[in-house]
Amino acid sequence: MAEPLPLFLTPEEVRSRYSVRVLVGARPVAAGLCHRDGLLLWERVLRAHAAEVGEPQGVRAVVFDLVFERDGPHWRVLRFSAETGDEAIEVAQQLSAALPTGFLTASLERLTSEGTPGEWHPDPASLDESGLVALVATFG
């Protein structure tokens, strides 16, 4: 039976079900996502998502979430960011070229084609909650 949508979860419940590891200096390469501790192979990625995160009228970054593991209602995610504009578009294009279309969210596809993900969150916690809800709605 599918998990119910995680409405009205506490921040602790969201963190326990959407486990994010933030990477510094991550970059897409031909085989996968290269980061300080190794390489996440593209075939391990279940879903790729992009959203702008930051102040409404201030500093923002484009945040990329790569979901790579599921254990029941729990999801493991690698997160990295890029500057808005050309840097984020280039990363989105690399992800789009490396992953099957069905693994890309609409926001990542929009970033590739239009230059903006069209999704914004004021902080990482709201991105986590939104990401968890979308995963449960998509995968059950």
pLDDT in single tens digits along all 140 residues of the chain: 445 555 577 889 999 999 999 998 899 999 999 999 899 999 999 999 999 999 878 888 999 999 999 999 999 999 999 999 999 999 999 999 999 989 999 999 999 999 999 999 999 999 999 999 899 888 87
Residues 6+ apart with CB under 8 A from 136: 2, 3, 4, 5, 6, 73
Domain housing 130: 15-139
Strand, coil or helix: 124:
helix
In a domain, 3, yes or no: no
Classify residue 54 by its DSSP letter: E
Q: What is the number of domains present in the chain?
A: 1
In a domain, 57, yes or no: yes
Q: Up-side HSE of residue 5: CA atoms within 13 Å toward CB?
A: 8
pTM over 0.95: no
Axis-axis angle for helices 106-114, 86-98 (nearest 10): 120
In a domain, 104, yes or no: yes
CA–CA separation, 24 and 48 (whole Å)? 17
In a domain, 6, yes or no: no
In a domain, 87, yes or no: yes
Q: For residue range 71-83, list pLDDT tens digits in order.
A: 999 999 999 999 9
Q: What residues pair up with 20 in beta bridges, in sequence order? A: 77
CA–CA separation, 29 and 123 (whole Å)? 28
